Structure 1
Amino acid sequence: MKVKVCGTTSVRDAVLAADAGADALGFIFAPVSRRLVTPQAAREAGLSVGATVARVGVFLGQGLDEVLRVADAARLSAVQLHGPLSSLYVEGVAAYYPVLRVVRPAELAQAAHMWRTDPRVTLMLDAPEPGGGVPLDWAALKADFPAGAWLAGGLGPENVAQAIGVLGPAGVDAVSRLEARPGLKDAAAVRAFVQAARSTQASYPQ
């Protein structure tokens, strides 16, 4: 079980998440996001917590060259890809960085079949509107949820244990329910989220 705190925009929030026990920080480079961060700011925040915490860049609709350029400048350790993308594009990124490939519920079965044998690509199931804070219907997705996949979409301290209990993901990811406002983490919510995920994983082994 891995825990990712996404939408990190500052050294303060990076340190907060790392101190709470998060395994990974998410830095959003999609221009449409209210949590947009520069590569330089992401690099500073990521390096402030040391190499044991993964630094994941979140991209939507950017060209392959731009993704690789930003990933290098920000010193990322993995890349999270949203949106409709060709398999060649995903493979192009995966040649350089481990990939979290984000899919919606309607895409899950096909994506699981496509990437089931590629160790460089891990699926992440997310809501149709990422960062919107609306949970998925976990029970309805149980039959198609592949082993080793991550879960996002409306997760927070109050529901992550239930989500893990239903789907047994390899990792969980949260943004909006961990914030005081977009781009600023709520310290108590971050700690509670990580603690809830950690306390649940022993009951639902992979």
Structure 2
Amino acid sequence: MSKTPKVKICGIRKVDDLKICVEEGADFVGLNFVSTSPRLVSPKEAEILITYLYTSVPEFLRPKIVFLFYKSSTHYIEPILKNLHHDYVQYVSDDSLAPGESSPLYQTRDSRILSYRVRGNVNDESLHFLDSELLILDSYNSAAGGGTGESFPWEQVSEVKRPYLLAGGLHPENVAKALSQTGAYGVDVASGVESSPGIKDQELIRNFIRNAKRFSYNGN
């Protein structure tokens, strides 16, 4: 039986782009609350997107909502999590400002996603300290927590068996090859479906999701 990869489209800011994600069967959409990101959404903008999903999209078609934070204070994070519906919260694993395990803002193991920036070969043992059901394995950039469009050698994650979304430098033309080489649970894209930083290209979104979903792990 074939297994279809999961797809996360990150940095959604407009309802029209969200509609394409829904139409093409994206599994996750990321709303970016990182103040330095070109994909930053305000709480009000996020509310509009979330309202659309909950008033216009049947539950079985609704992608999971992921909130991204990086170098954000707990005073900033808390009201967003309290006032806006979400399914997951994404933190970068080496973010010194991320809430600690004792904080309710850190969420539970199955409702947080930890993003790890790969700088060499990793495997399940070396990633054991990352306490979340789902990981994101991304390229490392000291100046940003993600969304740089930079790739990393995929063979560095070839031994990772736990569920993760592969990120970093993905786009419609290379996503199937990335899945084939890594066997990743899914893929995560931001800049690879944009015409310029923070501006999504609907045709790229459509092609990315279709090319990822066309790939199946049994080769059929």
User: What TM-score, normalized by structure 2, do the two folds share?
Assistant: 0.81
Q: Number of paired residues?
A: 201
Q: Which residue of 2 aligns with 1:55?
A: 65
| Mapping for residues 94-105 of structure 1, pairs under 5 Å | 94-95=107-108, 98-105=111-118
Partner Cα distance (2:219, 2:76) in 1: 39
Partner letter of residue 197 of structure 2? P
Q: 1:4 aligns with which of 4, 8, 24?
A: 8
More divergent stretch after superposition (128-137 vs 44-53) = 44-53
Q: 1:186 aligns with which of 174, 188, 201?
A: 201
Percent of residue pairs bearing the same amino acid type: 28
Q: CA deviation at 1:19?
A: 1.3
Q: CA deviation at 1:204?
A: 6.3
More divergent stretch after superposition (12-21 vs 155-164) = 12-21
* 3-state SS of paired residue (1:12): helix
Unaligned runs of 5+ in 2: none
After the TM superposition, which parts of structure 1 deviate over 6 Å for at least 4 consecutive aligned residues? none
* 3-state SS of paired residue (2:215): helix
Q: CA deviation at 1:74?
A: 2.8
Q: Which has the higher contact order (CA 8 A, sep 6+)?
A: 2
| Mapping for residues 62-141 of structure 1, pairs under 5 Å | 62-82=72-92, 84-85=94-95, 89-90=100-101, 92=103, 93-95=106-108, 98-106=111-119, 108-109=122-123, 112-115=127-130, 120-129=132-141, 130-141=146-157
Q: CA deviation at 1:176?
A: 0.6
Q: Could you tell me whether the CA contact under 8 Å between 1:77 and 1:97 is conserved in 2?
A: no
Specify which structure has the higher proportion of helix: 1
* 3-state SS of paired residue (1:201): coil
Q: Could you tell me whether the CA contact under 8 Å between 2:70 and 2:95 is conserved in 1?
A: no
Q: Which residue of 1 aligns with 2:42?
A: 38
Partner Cα distance (1:58, 1:6) in 2: 9
Q: Which residue of 2 aligns with 1:142?
A: 158
* 3-state SS of paired residue (2:158): helix
Q: CA deviation at 1:126?
A: 0.6
Q: Could you tell me whether the CA contact under 8 Å between 1:160 and 1:193 is conserved in 2?
A: yes
More divergent stretch after superposition (103-112 vs 151-160) = 103-112
* 3-state SS of paired residue (2:38): coil
Partner letter of residue 119 of structure 2? A
Larger radius of gyration: 2
More divergent stretch after superposition (106-115 vs 162-171) = 106-115
Q: CA deviation at 1:135?
A: 1.7
Unaligned runs of 5+ in 1: none
Q: What is the RMSD computed on CA atoms of the aligned residues?
A: 2.5
Q: CA deviation at 1:168?
A: 1.1
Q: CA deviation at 1:196?
A: 0.9
Q: Could you tell me whether the CA contact under 8 Å between 1:40 and 1:73 is conserved in 2?
A: no
